[in-house]
Amino acid sequence: MTSSAPRTARIRRATSESSVELELNLDGTGTSSIGTTVPFFDHLLTAFAKHSLTDLTVRASGDTDIDAHHTVEDVAIVLGQAIREALGDKAGISRYGDALVPLDEALAQAVVDISGRPYLVHSGEPDGFALHLIGGHFTGSLVRHTFEAISFHAGLTVHVTVLAGRDPHHIAEAEYKAFARAFRRAKAHDPLVHGIPSTKGAL
53-66 confidence digits (pLDDT tens): 999 999 999 999 89
Helices (H), the chain: 39-52, 69-87, 141-154, 168-187
Q: What is the pLDDT of residues 117-160, one digit of tens each?
A: 999 999 999 999 999 999 888 999 999 999 999 999 999 999 99
Confidence at residue 136, expressed as pLDDT on a 0 to 100 scale = 85
Confidence at residue 202, expressed as pLDDT on a 0 to 100 scale = 87
Closest CA to 46 of 185, 37, 135, 55: 55
Q: Is residue 174 part of a domain?
A: yes
pLDDT at 34 over 80: yes
| Count of the separate structural domains present in the chain | 1
Mean pLDDT of all residues belonging to the chain: 96
CA-to-CA distance for 193 and 155, rounded, in angstroms? 20
Closest CA to 179 of 203, 201, 148: 148
Confidence at residue 3, expressed as pLDDT on a 0 to 100 scale = 57
Residues 6+ apart with CB under 8 A from 134: 40, 140, 168, 169, 172
**Average of per-residue pLDDT across 85-110:** 98
Closest CA to 41 of 159, 104, 135, 129: 135
Q: Is residue 128 part of a domain?
A: yes
**Average of per-residue pLDDT across 178-195:** 97
Q: Is residue 167 part of a domain?
A: yes
CA-to-CA distance for 76 and 151, rounded, in angstroms? 9
DSSP codes joined into one string, 135-179: TTTEETHHHHHHHHHHHHHHT-EEEEEEEE-S-HHHHHHHHHHHH
Q: Is residue 138 part of a domain?
A: yes
Whichever domain contains 128, its CATH number is 3.30.230.40
**Average of per-residue pLDDT across 71-79:** 98
- Per the structure, the complete domain to which residue 42 belongs is given by 8-187
Residue 5 — pLDDT band, cuts 50, 70, 90?
confident
In the chain, the percentage of residues whose pLDDT exceeds 70 is 98
Strands 138-139 and 133-134: what pairing? antiparallel
End-to-end CA distance of the chain: 15
- Model pTM? 0.96
Q: Is residue 200 part of a domain?
A: no
In the chain, the percentage of residues whose pLDDT exceeds 90 is 93
Q: Is residue 120 part of a domain?
A: yes
